[in-house]
Amino acid sequence: MSELEGKVALVTGARGGLGTWVTESFLKAGAAVAGVSRTIRQSDFPHPAFVAIEADLSSGESARRVAGEVVDRFGRIDILAHVMGGFAGGMPVAETGDPMLEKMLGLNLWSAFHMARAVIPYMRRQGGGRIVAIGSRAAVEPQALVGAYGVSKAALVSLMGTIAVENKDAGITANVILSGTMDTPANRASDPSADFSRWVPPARIAGLILWLASDAASHVSGARIPVYGRDL
């Protein structure tokens, strides 16, 4: 039997640089996958256990609709892999405008809050679940010129810890991966002179998410797991 046979995973940002790896890993492990993105098509993952859901998770109403659609289709939600997020920087805090701050909070915090709040009631009723989010090294090691981004990811870390504490009685785990720079096409394009060998391969992050979503990790919750590649 495959590692996640019979499980239902909801993956946000399923069509992104990391999201594609996560979605394919879950499908290979035997899970049914609902892939959520603003622009996603059924043809992006031609697999009978995959369903594409176009959605903008900027509101609680949208997140509740997505969760309800997944439950209507599959009957349950066992895993929430919150992979979506965004990055913006280049300015000190004193020069950071409200639009950048609001964008980072929306992409990296509010979307996670909305989606977790929507799936937790289903997980509690079914007696368990796994929630995994992608944080950042910047959440725990402040860096210059990325204040809005760092704050949004730090708040995400706090959110996941709170979810873990609040739902330990229901068999729900919540963990966050603190990733260094990932070796994605978008990151390569934004920094073409970098040493890509020092960056984190998306496959490694996807593999860790897969493990945290499995029964083998049932006693791991509230963890903040650093994955920095060779940039220690």
The span from the CA of 123 to the CA of 127, in Å, is: 6
What pTM was estimated for this model as a whole?
A: 0.96
Confidence of residue 196 (pLDDT cuts 50, 70, 90): very high
Domain ranges of the chain: 8-227
Task: Report DSSP letters for the chain, one per residue.
Answer: --TTTT-EEEEETTTSTTHHHHHHHHHHTT-EEEEEESS--GGGS--TTEEEEE--TTSHHHHHHHHHHHHHHHS---EEEE--------B-GGG--HHHHHHHHIIIIIHHHHHHHHHHHHHHHHT-EEEEEE--GGGTS--TTBHHHHHHHHHHHHHHHHHHHHTGGGTEEEEEEEE--B--HHHHHH-TTS-GGGSBPHHHHHHHHHHHTSGGGTT--S-EEEE-TT--
Share above pLDDT 70 across residues of the chain, in percent, rounded to a whole number? 99
Provide the terminal-to-terminal Cα distance of the chain, rounded to the nearest Å.
37
Look up tokens 């998410």; give the residue.
209
Give 29-67 pLDDT, tens digit per residue: 999 999 999 999 999 999 999 999 999 999 999 999 999
Q: Using CA atoms, how far apart are residues 159 and 127, in angstroms rounded to an integer?
A: 21
Of the two residues 231 and 159, the one the predictor is more confident about is 159
Per-residue pLDDT reduced to its tens digit, 94-129: 999 999 999 999 999 999 999 999 999 999 999 999
Distances (CA, A) of 214 to 90, 94, 110, 160: 38, 43, 26, 18
For 13-52, b/e burial (b = at least 16 CB within 10 A) is: bbbbbbbbbbbbbbbebebbbbbbbeebeeebbeeeebbb
CATH class of 8-227: alpha beta
Listed in sequence order, the residues at least 6 apart from 171 whose beta carbon sits closer than 8 Å to its beta carbon are 127, 128, 129, 218
Closest by CA position to 228, among listed 195, 199, 188, 192: 199
For 142-174, the pLDDT digits (tens) are: 999 999 999 999 999 999 999 999 999 999 999
Give the closest residue to 6 by CA, choosing from 79, 64, 68. Answer: 79
Distances (CA, A) of 120 to 80, 84, 152, 165: 9, 18, 21, 13
